[in-house]
Amino acid sequence: MAERSFKEEVKKLRAGDGERFQGEGILAITKALLQSGVSYVGGYQGSPISHLMDVLNDAQDILGELGVHFEASGSEATAAAMLSASINYPLRGAVTWKSTVGTNVASDALSNIASSGVTGGAMVIVGEDYGEGSSIMQERSYAFAMKAQMWLLDPRPNLTSIVDMVEKGFELSEASNTPIFYMMRIRGCHVTGEFVARDNREPQFSDRAPVTPHREPEKIILPPNVYAQEREKIAQRLPAAIEFIKANKLNEVFPGRHEHLGIITCGGSYNTVIRALQRQGLSDVYGNTDIPIYVLNVAYPLIPEELVDFCVGKEQVLVLEEGQPEYIEQGIQTALRRADFQTRVFGKDIMPMAGEYTGQVMLLGITRFIEASSGPEIELLSSAEEVAALETPLVEEDQQALLDNVPPRPSGLCTGCPERPLFSAVKQVQEELGPFHISSDIGCHSFATLAPFNLGNTIMGYGLSLASSSSVRHALPHKAISIMGDGGFWHNGLTSGVASAVFNHHDGLLIVVDNGYSAATGGQDIPSLVEPNIIASTIDADAPRRDDYQSIEEACRGAGVKWIRTVSTYNIEAMKNTLHEALTSSLPGLKVVVAEGECMLNRQRRVKPMMKSAIASGKRIHRSRFYVDPQTCTGDHGCIRLSGCPSLTIKDNPDPLRTDPVSYVDNSCVGCGVCGENAHSAVLCPSFSQVDLVYNPNSFDRAKDTLRQRVIAWFRRRDEQRMEAASL
Amino acid sequence: MSDSSRAINMVIAALGGEGGGVLTNWLIAVADQEGWLCQTTSLAGVAQRTGATIYYLEFIPRPEDGSQPVLSLFPSQGDIDIAVASEIAEAGRMLSRGFVSPEQTTLIASTHRVYGITEKSATGDGTIDPAMLSEMCARYARRFIQFDMLELVGRHNTVVSAALFGAIAGSEVLPFARETFERIIGEGRGADANRAAFNEAWDRAQSGGVGLFDPNDKGDSSGFVLPDAHTAQGRVLIERMRALPVMCHEVVYRGASRLIDYQDLAYAEDYLFLVEKLATALDSAGSVALTEAARYLALWMAFEDIPRVAQLKVRPDRQQAIRDEVRAEPEQPIRVTEFFHPRVEEIAAMLPKRFGERLLASETARSGLGRLLGPRKLRTDRLSVYLIMRVLARLRRFRRGTLGYAEERGMIDRWFGAVLWASARDPELALELAECGRMVKGYGATRARTTSRLMRILDTVDREAEVSPARIRQLREAAMEGEDSAPFEGALNQALA
């Protein structure tokens, strides 16, 4: 069950011809796929296209009605390999993932399909995770498009253009027998807007209309076919693509009255360009511009003829291309020089090489361009100097004061997260056996590398922690430690990690964080399930049931692991002992600890409604949460340094003698019990209590409670009298 | 302001779980009903709940000819009409990112705090200064609307987004009718609570945010007056307190009261005697040092041994305090489980000095007892446990003869002696040494660490003849950097070199 449900929104996917469709970019893409008559869809979740997978998952009814086949692929490589269906048959299909990381994983299959060529339209929707809000290293997908020769679409970020370009993209793919990258930027994925819908189309082939199997041996990627395929790319597919792009006007030219200037931009940046021009009085809000603009909705390949046409009569053009290297700018230079055009091309010489083209960057760049290229005939509303000053109105002293007074908010584990007690345990074991070198991985557990845990040295990729420890293990004073999530384990950790480690007699420790979901990407299901935790709060609902689950432990045993233990993360003592044993054991071979604890976000989504209905139906249950006694807390916050739970915070000290804030558990506490476990296992302090609220108490509860209240009240009166007598 | 040539731009920073997504959807719906287009986008990042999510919205009248305006997806410096922050430090971040322009931006912020991890994890007080942020926001924003929205929605039992919605409407930067906003609320769940919060926030935004910031109001409680005595013994002590500088009255009064509750009247007299001794040594320039020394002396003398913890766990008002905190219904039974982890050291500390020392010296006794101790969960709502706690609390009458008392008293006397010594030389040095009392924190190993670091600072005082106040401050701050001993060791060695 994913974090966000689109059950309501997917109903919009049934919209027919002429209906106004309102929604998010991701939903619009899904609708466009259905309008294009896709036969299969797949992918692997990851920001910013996680919701695309969630939408597809929630839209299975509609997909089924149309005969569209959907798979939640095991990895991006799995998804990319799905595209092979379009090699021999006119089957349209689309897969999606986070790029560039997903593209890297998928690259083997992608290169091969790009070489074979396709008959049916094949599209990869890449969520370009670049710029603010990104969670990965900063690279462009563009390089991959160039080297494998796949076309790269980068449409203007309004829903009408987004939807049209999906449909045109399939046609382009089929016209040029080439698979396509369809690039969505972070903000474009989440943009809301509207477009006019068309009817959905049933795919030509599906489970109700099967294909006739046939072979095209020349499309198999063996020599000598591969040489022919490369020649075909250049001789046939590229010219066909250029012809299609020109004929269908996929790129757009917006004329303007200052014809000696021009701006060449990728579609994805078009809105930012218009806003910058508008702020300089050179465009209105409808995009009626004074400076001619050539919009590359197809970022690759470039169309030399269109470029040359655009530059006729232009003295200077500005190329707006996010990120580096500046492939498009280089391509434009080549095209113009070959045509012997002398138009001056500005680009990365006045624009930043690295980083996003935000509103401010764009405004400053365009202002500089116009100031550098034009005489006084173009009057700007603000000079480059004035634009640069917009960056901040703050005087330096105030800037410094803000630096000191705006606390950073690094990513961290959620309230009640099962990984918190695991890392508390690792931290405590480290105090005894450390310091540790730890190979970390991708997932929520990556945040253990940040405060307050500060555990982990390297992150090499999804499911690659164990693999990356293999080169350092011989040089460590302790057994190598790798931490991997269940998502990473199934993605490729089982093969590139576990199988390889066993084969190479790796005798280190692998901790598999088993929370039951691909949690960091929004809580999607994965092959394995997790047993419900035994934690402080009661409603320990049944496990999320699925008959067809695959077991991590069995998979490890199958791969040859002999030493394997499954431990609940919430049992810090047991976890410490198990880790200690694994790290000090003299037995040879890989030690695997499956650290089990259901993702708390998913658990809460499951348990909260059950809790509510149980209370409403009069069932006797209790709900736990934790409490810090402000009278015994001395305010050293050691508990926070060991936990970092969002609900374990601080508040002003109610004791007028004390000045430092006390620790405090707020009402978002879900009663996972880690505070108590830590208080015990780290011998912290006697300030933590678990408070259980009893709902629908029975008569025995009430009788006990009344008796207690009476006795305590009697003592209270006596205490109060004594205190009164002894007071000042 | 329904200028159709330019969009109205709004940026919202909300923390996880504050309903930023719901707020955005409400605003889209309001715009739609008013015949406007609203484009939104957001940067949610990963699924975790600790960071801020940024929403960006642009509003423009829907063109009658069906043409599509080109709206930006990026909030831009110098182009923001409304900036909204669900928490005051996030308002500071807006300011620091340049999203607040003096000539253009209306800034709406809730003044409550959600502490960041660096603030929470400091050994002492790592919190930032929100008043300074408010002051700066008021200076840089065209308009600054601020009030405690968390407190407001707490009263209406809903979430911050409802108050933000009201404040956005009430600021009237968006040219939409109040009724449209209200109508949108009516369509969701929990509508009544949201409407009540909306209405109150609307009113407060209209008045520019209530309680406009007064930089001189620091919530000072300097108006403390020594109360009249309730008892004969009290009269004597309070008279003695009157002879002390006014500044320290509150601390000394509360300290003495604490120690009567902790031990007995004689113990409070003992405390007062020490404070008087320091007062004599310091002149009027040393009132701050005297106050702080009196504060930490009282806190240290009321050190938390087993009888003290037991006493605090059965104190009369505790049950109600817990019930209020966890929001228990009036008749709802609650259970309270305490997490205790007594070690041999704590048991030895409550034994008579001789026995305690012998216990600690004997390996056999230690390991034997150790097996009986360890982590314990005790239900203090159970009568049996409650009564045991009361018995343990009563053991405090034997405290003066215990090993724990002897050890603590030895350290207290050493520290206080150093403050006395310094008071004769330099009130500033006395103040810095007095402030070292703040280091005494925690239980078990934490407590051993904090006090041993304090003792090592006192060693330095003994060793370095010309020790300066700045030196003491440097050592104290290094000592309070947490479990890692490197900063403190570094600071110690720095001067030796």
Q: Are residues B484 and B370 in the same domain?
A: no
Q: Are residues B253 and B131 in the same domain?
A: no
Residue B264 lies in a domain: yes
* b (16+ CB within 10 A) / e for A33-55: bbbbbbbbbbbbbbbbbbbbbbb
Confidence category of residue A607, pLDDT binned at 50, 70, 90: confident
For the record, the structure tokens of A25 come out as 């970019």
Considering chain B, what percentage of its residues have pLDDT values greater than 70? Answer: 94
Q: Cβ distance A516 to A538 under 8 Å?
A: no
The average pLDDT across B443-469 equals 90
Architecture per CATH, domain A9-246, reads as: 3-Layer(aba) Sandwich (3.40)
Measured between CA atoms, how close is B205 to chain A, in angstroms?
24
Give the tens place of pLDDT for each residue, A424-483.
999 989 989 989 999 999 999 999 998 889 999 999 999 999 999 999 999 999 999 999
Closest Cα in chain A to B482: A638
- Total-model pTM: 0.91
> Minimum mean pLDDT among A156-160, A414-418, B272-276: which range?
A414-418
Query: Out of B73, B119, B438, whose CB is closest to A157?
Result: B73
For the record, the structure tokens of B362 come out as 């004997």
Kindly report the CATH number assigned to the domain that includes residue B64: 3.40.920.10
So what's the pLDDT on residue B280? 92
Confidence category of residue B2, pLDDT binned at 50, 70, 90: very low
Q: Are residues B177 and B33 in the same domain?
A: yes
Exposed/middle/buried for residue A615 (C-beta within 10 Å: 0-12, 13-18, 19+): middle
Q: Are residues B326 and B375 in the same domain?
A: yes
| Cβ count near A192 (within 10 Å) | 20
Mean pLDDT for chain A overall? 93
| Better-scored residue on pLDDT, A193 or B18 | A193
Closest Cα in chain A to B297: A657
Please compute, for residue B439, the number of CA atoms within 13 A of its CA located in the half-sphere on the CB side: 31
So what's the pLDDT on residue A544? 60
Tokens 């604890």: give the residue: A597
Q: Terminal CA-to-CA distance of chain B, rounded, Å?
A: 68
Q: Cβ distance B375 to B381 under 8 Å?
A: no
Residues 6+ apart with CB under 8 A from B310: B389, B390, B392, B393, B395
So what's the pLDDT on residue B217? 47
The secondary structure of chain A in percent helix, strand, coil, rounded to multiples of 5, reads 40, 15, 40
* Domain spans, chain A: 9-246, 251-390, 419-603, 619-699, 700-728
Residue B143 lies in a domain: yes
Measured between CA atoms, how close is A134 to chain B, in angstroms?
7
Residues 437..466 of B with a Cβ closer than 8 Å to A: which? 438, 440-446, 450
CB contact under 8 A, A133 and B129: no
Tokens 């795919």: give the residue: A203
The average pLDDT across A636-650 equals 90
Residues 699..718 of A with a Cβ closer than 8 Å to B: which? 701-702, 704-705, 707-708, 711-712, 715-716
Q: Are residues B198 and B142 in the same domain?
A: yes
**Count of structural domains within chain B:** 3
The average pLDDT across A690-703 equals 92
Confidence category of residue B222, pLDDT binned at 50, 70, 90: low
Q: Are residues B350 and B279 in the same domain?
A: no
Residue B108 lies in a domain: yes
What 8-state DSSP symbol labels residue A416? T
CATH topology of domain A251-390: Rossmann fold (3.40.50)
Give the tens place of pLDDT for each residue, A204-239.
999 999 999 999 999 999 999 999 999 999 999 999
Query: Which amino acid makes up residue A725?
Result: A
A239-243, A399-403, B86-90, B377-381 — most confident range? A239-243
A419-603 — its CATH code? Answer: 3.40.50.970
Residue B392 lies in a domain: no
So what's the pLDDT on residue B211? 46
Residue B221 lies in a domain: no
So what's the pLDDT on residue A538? 53
Distance in angstroms (rounded) separating the CA atoms of residues B14 and B51: 9
| CA-CA-CA-CA dihedral for A16, A19, A22, A24, to nearest 10 | 30
- Any A CB within 8 A of B257 CB: yes
The string of DSSP letters for B445-493 reads: HHHHHHHHHHHHHHHHHHH-TT--HHHHHHHHHHHTT-S--HHHHHHHH
CA A542 to chain centre: 29
Q: Which of B114, B250, B337 to mutate to test the interface with A (most CBs of A within 10 A)?
A: B337
So what's the pLDDT on residue A541? 54
Query: Out of A387, A636, A691, whose CB is closest to B123?
Result: A636
Closest Cα in chain A to B43: A133
Q: What are phi and psi of A480, to 5 degrees?
A: -60, 140
Query: Where in the sequence is the domain holding B421, given as residue range(s)?
Result: 232-305+404-496
In CATH terms, are A9-246 and A251-390 the same topology? yes
| Better-scored residue on pLDDT, B374 or A546 | B374
Measured between CA atoms, how close is A112 to chain B, in angstroms?
32
CATH class of A619-699: alpha beta
Give the tens place of pLDDT for each residue, A549-601.
899 999 999 999 999 999 999 999 999 999 999 999 999 999 999 999 999 98
Q: Are residues B360 and B271 in the same domain?
A: no
In DSSP terms, B70 is beta-bridged to none
ipTM of this complex? 0.93
CA A113 to chain centre: 26
So what's the pLDDT on residue A539? 58
Residue B293 lies in a domain: yes
Residue B2 lies in a domain: no
Tokens 């400091």: give the residue: B122
**B-chain residues near A133 (CB < 8 A):** 43-45, 54
Closest Cα in chain A to B309: A632
Residue B214 lies in a domain: no
The string of DSSP letters for B339-386 reads: EE---HHHHHHTSBHHHHHHHHH-HHHHHHHHHH-S-EEEETTSHHHH
CB contact under 8 A, B337 and A689: yes
Distance in angstroms (rounded) separating the CA atoms of residues B112 and A425: 34
Q: Cβ distance B352 to B367 under 8 Å?
A: no
Q: Are residues B254 and B173 in the same domain?
A: no
Q: Are residues B148 and B278 in the same domain?
A: no
Helices and strands of chain B, counted as H and E runs: 23, 8
Judged against a pLDDT cut of 60, whether residue A528 lies above it is answered with yes
Q: Cβ distance B27 to B11 under 8 Å?
A: no
Domain-ending residue, one of B206, B221, B244: B206
CB contact under 8 A, B52 and A363: no
Q: Are residues B62 and B134 in the same domain?
A: yes
Q: Are residues B329 and B286 in the same domain?
A: no
Distance in angstroms (rounded) separating the CA atoms of residues B253 and A655: 13
What 8-state DSSP symbol labels residue B388? H
- Any B CB within 8 A of A18 CB: no
Residues 6+ apart with CB under 8 A from A147: none
For the record, the structure tokens of A633 come out as 């807390």
Residues 6+ apart with CB under 8 A from A165: A153, A155, A182, A250, A267, A297
